[in-house]
Amino acid sequence: MTIPGPDTAYGSRRGGLTVARIAHLAGVSAPTVSKVLNGRAGVASETRRRIEQVIQDHGYRRQEQTEPGTPVVEVVFQSLDSPWALEIIRGVSQVVRPRGLAVAVSEMCGQLTPDDAWTQDVLARRPAGVVAVSAKLTEQQTTQLASRAISLVILDPSGEPAHEIPSVGATNWNGGLAAARHLLELGHRRIGMINGPAELLCCRARLDGYRAAMDAAGIALDPDLVRVGPLYVDGGRTEAMALLALPDPPTAVFAANDLQALGVYEAARLADVRVPQDLSVVGFDDLPLGQWIGPSLTTVRQPLLEMGATAADLVLSLADGRRPEHHRIELATTLVIRDSTTSPPARRTATKHRRR
Amino acid sequence: MTIPGPDTAYGSRRGGLTVARIAHLAGVSAPTVSKVLNGRAGVASETRRRIEQVIQDHGYRRQEQTEPGTPVVEVVFQSLDSPWALEIIRGVSQVVRPRGLAVAVSEMCGQLTPDDAWTQDVLARRPAGVVAVSAKLTEQQTTQLASRAISLVILDPSGEPAHEIPSVGATNWNGGLAAARHLLELGHRRIGMINGPAELLCCRARLDGYRAAMDAAGIALDPDLVRVGPLYVDGGRTEAMALLALPDPPTAVFAANDLQALGVYEAARLADVRVPQDLSVVGFDDLPLGQWIGPSLTTVRQPLLEMGATAADLVLSLADGRRPEHHRIELATTLVIRDSTTSPPARRTATKHRRR
User: Does the CB of B124 have a partner CB in chain A at under 8 Å?
Assistant: yes
Kindly tell me if the per-residue pLDDT of B172 is higher than 60. Answer: yes
Using CB atoms, which residue from A72, A262, A269 is nearest to B104?
A72
Higher model confidence: residue A11 or residue B123? B123
For residues B73 and B31, the answer to whether their CB atoms sit within 8 Å is no
Confidence of residue B8 (pLDDT cuts 50, 70, 90): very low
Q: How many CA atoms lie within 13 A of A344 on its CB side?
A: 16
Buried b (16+ CB within 10 A) or exposed e, B148-165: bbbbbbbbbbbeebeebb
Helix/strand/coil for B106: strand
Confidence of residue A164 (pLDDT cuts 50, 70, 90): confident
- Cβ <8 Å between B292 and A262: yes
Q: Report how far Cα B34 is from the mean position of its chain's Cα atoms.
A: 33
| Percentage of the residues of chain A whose pLDDT score is greater than 70 | 89
Q: What is the average pLDDT across A138-165?
A: 83
Average pLDDT, chain A: 87
| For residue A233, pLDDT beyond 60 | yes
Q: Which fold has domain A69-165+303-331?
A: Rossmann fold (3.40.50)
As to burial, measured by CB atoms within 10 angstroms (0-12 exposed, 13-18 middle, 19+ buried), residue B83 is buried
Residue ranges, CATH 3.40.50.2300, chain A: 69-165+303-331, 172-297+338-351
Overall average pLDDT of the A2-19 stretch: 48
- Residue B25 pLDDT greater than 90, yes or no: no
In eight-state DSSP terms, residue A334 is E
DSSP sequence for B175-233: HHHHHHHHHHHTT--SEEEEE--TTSHHHHHHHHHHHHHHHHTT----GGGEEE--SSH
Q: Tell me if residue B343 falls in helix, strand or coil.
A: coil
8 Å CB contact of A72 and B74: no
For CATH 3.40.50.2300, list the domain ranges present in chain B: 69-165+302-331, 172-297+338-351
Contact B259 A292 (CB under 8 A): yes
CA distance B76 to B83: 15
pLDDT reported for residue B117: 86
Percent over 90 (pLDDT), chain B: 55
DSSP of A40-87: -S-S-HHHHHHHHHHHHHH-B-----SS--EEEEEEEES-S-SHHHHH
Q: With an 8 Å Cβ cutoff, are B105 and A93 in contact?
A: yes
Under the banding of pLDDT at 50, 70 and 90, the label for residue B195 is very high
pLDDT, residue B354, reads 41
Of the candidate ranges A125-129, A314-318, B196-200, B344-348, the one whose mean pLDDT is the lowest: B344-348
pLDDT at B158 over 80: no
Answer with the residue of higher pLDDT: B107 or B223. Answer: B223
pLDDT single digits (tens) A261-303:
999 999 999 999 999 999 999 999 999 889 988 899 999 999 9
- Whether pLDDT at B9 is above 50: no
Architecture of domain A172-297+338-351: 3-Layer(aba) Sandwich (3.40)
> Chain A closest CA to B323's CA: distance in Å?
27
**Amino acid A194: pLDDT:** 98
The tens digit of pLDDT for each residue in B50-109 reads 888 888 788 776 654 445 678 899 999 988 888 889 999 999 999 999 998 999 998 887
User: What does residue A222 show for φ and ψ, rounded to 5 degrees?
Assistant: -90, 115
Please give the residue of chain B at the shortest CA–CA distance from A261: B292
User: Are B55 and B39 contacting, i.e. CB atoms less than 8 angstroms apart?
Assistant: no
A171, A194 in Cβ contact below 8 A? Answer: no
Per-residue confidence band for A226, with pLDDT thresholds at 50, 70 and 90: very high
Burial grade of B247 (CB within 10 A; 0-12, 13-18, 19 or more): exposed
What's the rounded mean pLDDT across residues A86-106?
93
ipTM here: 0.79
Quick one: pLDDT at residue A349?
53
Q: Which of residues 145-164 of A touch B (CB under 8 A)?
A: none
Closest by CA to B149, choosing from B125, B113, B173, B177, is: B125
Asked whether the bond before A276 is cis by omega within 30 degrees of 0, the reply is yes
Contacts of residue B236 in chain A, CB cutoff 8 Å? none
The DSSP element (H or E) to which A300 belongs, if any, is strand A298-301
> With 70 as the cut, is the pLDDT of residue B248 above it?
yes
Selecting from B93, B125, B266 the residue whose C-beta is nearest the C-beta of A106 gives B93
Burial (CB count within 10 angstroms: exposed 0-12, middle 13-18, buried 19+), residue B197: middle
Interface test with B, best of A70, A238, A260, A339 (most B CBs within 10 A): A70
Strands, E assignment, chain B: 70-77, 102-107, 127-133, 151-155, 167-170, 191-195, 226-228, 252-255, 280-285, 298-301, 328-331, 334-336
Cross-chain Cβ contact A81/B86 below 8 Å: yes
**DSSP codes, A96-165:** HGGGTPEEEEEE-TT-SS--HHHHHHHHHH-EEEEEEES----HHHHHHHHHTT-EEEEES-SS---TTS
Task: Please give the pLDDT value at position B120.
Answer: 87
A254: three-class secondary structure by DSSP: strand
Quick check: B329 and B172 in contact, CB under 8 A?
no
For residue B102, with 0-12 CB atoms within 10 Å meaning exposed, 13-18 middle and 19 or more buried, which class applies? Answer: buried
Q: Do A294 and B72 touch (CB under 8 A)?
A: no
- β-partners of residue A28 are none
Please tell me the predicted confidence (pLDDT) of residue A67.
56
What is the arithmetic mean of pLDDT over B23-29? 88
Q: Which of A90, A102, A292 shows the shortest C-beta gap to B125?
A: A102
Q: What is the pLDDT of residues B112-138, one digit of tens each?
A: 888 888 888 898 888 999 999 988 888
pLDDT at B1 over 80: no
How far apart are the C-alpha atoms of A213 and A206, rounded to whole Å? 11
Instruction: Give the helix/strand (H/E) hosting B236.
Output: helix B233-244
Q: Which of A173-187, A333-347, B53-67, B225-239 has the lowest mean pLDDT?
A: B53-67
Split at pLDDT 50, 70, 90, the class of A170 is very high
**CB B151, CB B9: distance < 8 Å:** no
Q: How is domain B69-165+302-331 classified at the CATH fold level?
A: Rossmann fold (3.40.50)
Dihedral sign of CA atoms A333, A335, A336, A338 in order: positive
Residue of A nearest to B71 (CA): A125
- The CA distance from B122 to B100, in Å, is 19
Question: Considering chain B, what is the average pLDDT of its residues?
Answer: 87
pLDDT value of position B10 = 34
Choose among A285, A293, A274: nearest CA to A335.
Answer: A285
- How far is it, in rounded angstroms, from Cα A217 to Cα B145? 64
Partner residue facing A102 (CB), from B93, B104, B294: B104
Determine contact: B125 vs chain A, CB below 8 A. Answer: yes
Residues A51-88: tens digit of each pLDDT: 888 887 887 766 544 456 788 999 999 888 888 899 99
